[in-house]
Structure 1
């Protein structure tokens, strides 16, 4: 039976608990028994919907990726034509609000950087590829309107920008629980300023 047959409220509970389990201990150490017990489900009920931990992981990744994308209302690259850096800053601010409001958002980010995800897990790879493609297309718009420097090859520029963004994201997500009140917005602002200095046209 497909997981879509699961009652919506039970599915949301399972997603939240499973995402936290994977994010906290990694894929390999994640315990189906812990997830099932925390949800108040029986094993027979769980296996009525899923055959394995990997199948649950794939379903959780697909659901959360779609939910996060919808909640963030990600701008189209063409939207950046009129106010490239202003829109970029406002979008990052929305990311901060989402991260502070919804633990599921943070846990999905942490899952994206897990080192022990099965090689055959295509959901995370597809999500990462979609983000990279969006960034490359957005940078192309920035170059076309003069908001992004054009003195280095576009491929190298995108590769460098993605590496910087990921370095900030991974560190922030890994250390999120240790951050003091108000530190997250400051770090995200620093991330924005670093990327703007890296990509902005020379003054």
Structure 2
């Protein structure tokens, strides 16, 4: 095992990364909204987030992996791996942010790095809550709408 991985944390992160990539592949890629309507921009983000969280309902093993990841994220090794995984999505987040700014859905008065940090922080809190509370499918759309609404209020002009 140590030929391929630096340790248990590295193996855990690899399995989680592969499983997340497969779930996202099944859900389909998120196309950055190309329109010019801020409401449509936020609606598309909300719909995609709902699709991802709904997909987790059908993948209880992956949800359990993520809950374990959250519980172990206090260790320095896991924090480093989490930061590396976050860096991998930063270019995509920068493109989404730039598109949102171009169409007037996202504020332009603060540095993009700060806006991304705010969105990531809120997103992590949301993901943690959703994964640990396991809301039923009937409540999920309402909760996702409320949670994305909070991000929207923090990031919109």
Give the TM-score normalised by the residue count of structure 2. Answer: 0.74
Range moving further from structure 2, 88-97 or 101-110: 101-110
Are 1:99 and 2:52 matched, yes or no? Answer: no
SS in structure 1 opposite 2:33? helix
Compared with structure 1, are the counterparts of its residues 156 and 124 closer, same or farther at alpha carbon in structure 2 (3 Å cutoff)? Answer: closer
The unaligned stretches of length 5 or more in structure 1 are 3-49
Who is 2:146 aligned against? 190
CA shift for structure 1 position 65: 2.8
Q: How many pairs are equivalent?
A: 150
Separation in structure 2 between the aligned mates of residue 163 and residue 180 of structure 1, nearest angstrom: 24
Higher RCO (C-alpha under 8 Å, 6+ residues apart): 2
SS in structure 2 opposite 1:81? coil
Who is 2:124 aligned against? 166
Compared with structure 1, are the counterparts of its residues 54 and 90 closer, same or farther at alpha carbon in structure 2 (3 Å cutoff)? Answer: closer
Contact conserved, 1:61 with 1:124, CA < 8 A, in 2? no
Who is 2:67 aligned against? 110
Are 1:199 and 2:152 matched, yes or no? Answer: no
Which of 29, 34, 37 is the equivalent residue of 1:81? 34
CA shift for structure 1 position 143: 0.5
RMSD (Å) for aligned C-alpha atoms? 3.0
CA shift for structure 1 position 59: 4.2
Are 1:148 and 2:103 matched, yes or no? Answer: no
Separation in structure 1 between the aligned mates of residue 41 and residue 101 of structure 2, nearest angstrom: 10
CA shift for structure 1 position 91: 0.6
Contact conserved, 1:65 with 1:127, CA < 8 A, in 2? no
Larger radius of gyration: 1
